[in-house]
Amino acid sequence: MPYFRTHGRARRIAARTGFLLLTATAARAQFTYETNAGYITITGYSGSAGAVAIPDTVNELPVTTIGLNAFAGSSIVTSITIPGGVSSIQDYAFQDCSRLTNVTIQGSSESLGEEAFSYCANLVNLFFGGSPPSLGYDVFAGDDEATAYYLPGAIGWSTNLDTIPTALWNPVIQTAGGNFGFSSNQFGFTIAGAANIPVVVEACTNLANPIWIALQGATLDNGAFFFSEPATNGAARFYRISSP
């Protein structure tokens, strides 16, 4: 991954972007599960953290399924990150999760079951890392504010995913031009992409053992957003953009 240093100061930009770079900052989660033929189905969640990341493996076995009603009716979960190995999200898995706002499906989930995300009144953003899944009946019923975002190069997407609109999620940090770099003791850069997509600017100080901290969330009004923060000397600082 290339980085950029300006005028000898320790500010660098992580040039690669995309919601697949997200690493969960959730507290340790607690899940119930079933094992079937060497594969794991998540059947429930008993943790207290709002930001939930489904594990890739349990007891060294791959997690492939989010089970029937697994999170249904939760008033705790605010965001969910689903790893690329999960191929099936079963019926009613996240139905009526009243505080759920953001969903990230990192791979190409093959199927979303009947009413899998229905009646999540606060659901706004769904981020898909691959091709669109096959859909059961009324997957997004009642999700009047939700939009499904997909990455450049993903095939099979159209203007809608069932009843919700879709949009290309393609933000890029602009490293050329006068807005990139230091000015008036501020370091800044422009993020450009499709109009009105949501982004989060994150930073860390050590790529060998990165702890990414969210600095600012924004929407690319008219397809652009300018980020800046006070310049500091000292340790390197790396930036990336991710989904909310």
pLDDT over 70 (residue 17): no
User: Any idea which of 4-13, 90-99, 123-132 has the lowest mean pLDDT?
Assistant: 4-13
- The CA distance from 118 to 95, in Å, is 5
Residues 6 or more apart in contact with residue 104 via CB below 8 angstroms: 19, 22, 79, 80, 81, 82, 126, 127, 129, 243
Residue 104, CA distances (Å) to 34, 38, 108, 180, 190 in order: 23, 25, 11, 30, 24
| pTM, entire model | 0.86
Q: Give the start-to-end residue ranges of the domains of the chain.
A: 11-17+171-242, 24-168
Confidence at residue 205, expressed as pLDDT on a 0 to 100 scale: 87
Per CATH, domain 24-168 is 3.20.80.10:
no
Would you place residue 234 in the very low, low, confident or very high pLDDT band (cuts 50, 70, 90)? low
User: Percent of the chain scored above 70 by pLDDT?
Assistant: 87
φ, ψ dihedrals at 32, nearest 5° = -100, 155
Would you place residue 23 in the very low, low, confident or very high pLDDT band (cuts 50, 70, 90)? very low
**What is the helix (H) or strand (E) element at residue 121, kind and residue range?**
none
User: Any idea which of 95-99, 113-117, 131-135, 202-206 has the lowest mean pLDDT?
Assistant: 202-206
* pLDDT, mean over the chain: 87
Would you place residue 13 in the very low, low, confident or very high pLDDT band (cuts 50, 70, 90)? low
